[in-house]
Copies of this chain bind each other. A is one copy, B any other.
């Protein structure tokens, strides 16, 4: 089976893995997995396992671990991406899915001056993230932060590269800014909601050492900007 399964670290013990109910059902009813088959399991915490299936029950699958690795599919750089909460939930979900595929380590739903929605559907987004993690063959489940404003993200020491998506006169093309991040271990990418950040928000970010970056000549939707910026930053690291 080429699909990855997800089991939390607590389900992996003494050389054996027990799939959670939903994963077990998927393996049995959709993929027709049987005892003797091999499966790949990730624990969302960087753990990656190959396992031989010992037992397939109605709601339970147990396997014996045959190979074990760390951080499979993970980029070297620890990238946090923060996007303004969007009016249309499906667009925010699309973004979250893509952020996981592209390798973000943390997703922050932002409350900004121009966001018109305060809350996210946390459980639904987590399900999207787990599915994306398995699909793209990562081993870490990115963190989903609580909705917040940009201030806490910008507080404290600047040990990371900070980029704020904003088409202004002083903005640097994203490819160039991404190339400049190469020596850093972590990055923060800030993207506004529909309509972008308000000028004081951009100023606050720049004051906190964020580089304003432009993403091309067209006006991208917020989620497209986030996807494009994230891909440029992570692939500039060569992974």
Binding site for B on A (CB under 8 A): 73, 75, 94, 97-98, 101-103, 135-138, 173-175, 215-221, 224, 227-228, 231-232, 234-236, 238-239
Which B residues lie within 8 Å of A94 (CB)? 94
**A194: nearest residue on chain B (CB-CB)?**
B135
List 6 additional A-B contacts (Cβ < 8 Å) besides A173-B238, A175-B235, A217-B239.
A102-B216, A102-B224, A102-B228, A103-B218, A173-B235, A228-B228
Which B residues lie within 8 Å of A235 (CB)? 173-175, 215-216, 228, 232
Chosen A-B contacts, 15 in total, with CB atoms closer than 8 Å, are A73-B217, A98-B224, A101-B224, A135-B221, A136-B219, A136-B220, A175-B236, A216-B234, A224-B227, A227-B231, A228-B228, A228-B235, A231-B231, A232-B232, A232-B235
Q: Distance in Å from the Cβ of A64 to the closest Cβ of chain B? A: 26
A228–B101 Cα distance when bound, in Å, is 11
A102–B103 Cα distance when bound, in Å, is 21
**A234: nearest residue on chain B (CB-CB)?**
B216
**A238: nearest residue on chain B (CB-CB)?**
B173
